[in-house]
Chain A
Amino acid sequence: MTGQEYAFIVLAAVGSISAIATVTARNVVHAALYLVVTLSSVGAVYLLLGAEFVAWVQILIYVGAIVILFLFGLMLTKAPIGRDSLDNQQRWVGVLVAFGVFAGLAYLIQDAFPLQDAVAAPGFRGSTEAVGQSIFHSYVLPFEAVSFLLLAALIGAVVLARKDDET
């Protein structure tokens, strides 16, 4: 166990607990704030894994933009408070399915990458320069596709959310 692994385990514990809190919170605004904690700890995990650019994009886009969008969505719609109005009646089926998904994934992971003979890879630092080189050398076409997708989403959101006055 290295120091980085201890730090990772602490961050993963914080992220997992607040992920559970996100999906079980009775107050929608609290759920959004727990989501901030989860997303921030995931960003810190990216930093630990040497992905600095992805980490800062995570903080900027997720914590900065997407959670704000969620809060706007919650404020613009009447958000009821209380578990019975937030959750449906199939909570135990949900617990069962989620636990089954986790058990299946954990079995597959343990089967494919056994924890006891996993070796920690030596340090890897994916610098911003390397990310940029990779995007603009190998992935220019997907990059353009993503920019087109964002444009389409922008126009779609405007068209969907505006009021039809003239009709």
Chain B
Amino acid sequence: MIRLPLVLFFSAFLFSAGVYGVLVRRNAVMVLMAIELMLNAVNVNLVGFSANLKAMSGQVFALFIIAVAAAEVGIGLAIVILLFRNRESINVDEVSLLKW
């Protein structure tokens, strides 16, 4: 079977790619995509530990995280569409109304 550190390194790499995307992208939809990458990294960790420890809890929590991610994307895209309707732009650096 697969040794645990390999799975953890893959997950760390996916998470770092997500961090880069969140920091660098201007388009709000692309930021949400990068957040999905980070959530996937967490799921890979959970499933990897579940296989390594022979416990089902990891897989159950991975399923919960998938459900929460689906909810998050639904709300996030609703907010993005609302933003586009009000401001004609979904660049996150132009949404600075609350910034002093």
A residues neighboring B (CB under 8 Å): 2, 4-5, 8-9, 12, 15-16, 19-20, 22-23, 28, 31-32, 35, 38-39, 42, 45-46, 48-51, 53-54, 57-58, 61-62, 65-66, 69-70, 72-74, 76-80, 85-88, 90-91, 93-95, 97-99, 101-102, 105-106, 109-110, 113-115, 118-124, 126, 130-131, 133-135, 138-139, 142-143, 146, 149-150, 152-154, 156-158, 160-161
Contact in complex: A105, B10 (CB < 8 Å): no
Which chain B residues border A118 with CB–CB below 8 Å? 3-5
Nearest neighbor of B91 in chain A, beta-carbon distance: A85
A77 to B84, CA, bound (A): 6
Which chain B residues border A79 with CB–CB below 8 Å? 27, 29
Q: A45-B44, A58-B66, A124-B54 are in contact. Are A23 and B5 (CB under 8 A)?
A: no
Which chain A residues border B54 with CB–CB below 8 Å? 121, 124
Contact in complex: A54, B47 (CB < 8 Å): yes
Contact in complex: A51, B57 (CB < 8 Å): no
The contact size tier of chain B is 35 or more
B residues neighboring A (CB under 8 Å): 1-10, 12-21, 23-27, 29-30, 32-34, 36-37, 40, 43-44, 47-48, 50-52, 54, 56-57, 59-60, 62-64, 66-75, 77-82, 84, 90-91, 93
A86 to B5, CA, bound (A): 34
Which chain B residues border A121 with CB–CB below 8 Å? 1, 4, 51-52, 54
Q: Distance in Å from the Cβ of A149 to the closest Cβ of chain B?
A: 6
Contact in complex: B74, A23 (CB < 8 Å): no
Which chain B residues border A160 with CB–CB below 8 Å? 75, 78-79, 81-82
Contact in complex: B17, A19 (CB < 8 Å): yes
Which chain A residues border B18 with CB–CB below 8 Å? 19, 23
Taking A20-B17, A42-B40, A138-B57 as given, write out 14 further A-B residue pairs in contact, using a Cβ cutoff of 8 Å, ordered by the A residue number. Answer: A22-B33, A51-B50, A57-B66, A69-B77, A70-B77, A85-B91, A88-B24, A97-B20, A118-B5, A134-B60, A153-B70, A153-B75, A154-B74, A161-B81
